[in-house]
């Protein structure tokens, strides 16, 4: 037993502040090999224990819903309302960027007339119509130079 006391004092001197021969609950912990072992005291989890982590995840998912999912649903709702209000004769633009005029309205599609003389009729899904507007086809007048350049200059 005297050897044990001397060994523990030598180890305590090498590890000031506790070290491997720390007493836990008034008893010295010895490992399976018979040498003193260091058993750390369990730390308190603080705020970020089980409930803190759950609250943190709830805040993250709530923020994602508020900033990503909610605005997307509002946009989809406005587009569906716009598509429901389209009637025959409206000028539309498709998701592919083609302009046309509604010739007929079906259950899930529109018959759209394309081209300048409206000779081409193609069925288009309602979900492919992204806007109600006519193309701006008026050309911008070009500015003419005030003086023509002279020959030889």
pLDDT at 29: 58
Domains of the chain and any CATH numbers: 1-42 (no CATH), 84-132 (2.30.30.140)
What is the 8-class DSSP label of residue 95? T
pLDDT at 124: 93
The rounded distance, in Å, linking the Cα atoms of 55 and 9 is: 47
**Which residue is it, tokens 């394309």?**
114
DSSP-assigned states of every residue in 33-62: TSSB---PPPPP-GGGSHHHHHHHHHHHHH
Kindly state the average pLDDT of the residues 120-129.
Answer: 92
pLDDT at 45: 65
Kindly state the average pLDDT of the residues 116-120.
Answer: 81
Longest Cα separation, the chain: 119
pLDDT at 117: 80
- Asked whether the predicted pLDDT for residue 152 surpasses 70, the reply is no
Read off the pLDDT band of 136 (50, 70, 90).
Answer: confident
Read off the pLDDT band of 90 (50, 70, 90).
Answer: very high
pLDDT at 4: 47
| Interval 21-74: pLDDT, tens | 444 444 555 656 666 666 566 666 666 677 888 888 999 999 998 899 999 999
* Highest mean predicted confidence (pLDDT) among 12-16, 39-43, 105-109: 105-109
Residue 129 in contact with residue 92, Cβ under 8 Å? Answer: yes
């Amino acid at each position: 037993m005297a050897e044990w006391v001397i060994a523990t004092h030598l180890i305590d001197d090498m590890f000031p502040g506790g070290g491997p021969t720390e007493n836990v609950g008034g008893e010295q912990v010895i490992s399976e090999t018979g040498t003193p072992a260091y058993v750390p005291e369990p730390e308190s989890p603080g705020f970020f224990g089980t409930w803190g982590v759950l609250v943190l995840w709830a805040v993250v998912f709530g923020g994602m819903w508020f900033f990503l999912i909610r605005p997307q649903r509002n946009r989809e709702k406005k587009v569906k309302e716009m598509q429901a209000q389209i009637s025959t004769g409206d000028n539309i633009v498709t998701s592919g960027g083609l302009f046309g005029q509604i010739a007929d309205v079906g259950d899930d599609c529109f018959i759209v007339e394309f081209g300048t003389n409206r000779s081409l009729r193609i069925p288009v899904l309602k979900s492919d119509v992204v806007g109600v507007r006519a193309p701006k086809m008026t050309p911008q007048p070009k500015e003419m130079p005030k003086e023509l350049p002279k020959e030889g200059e």
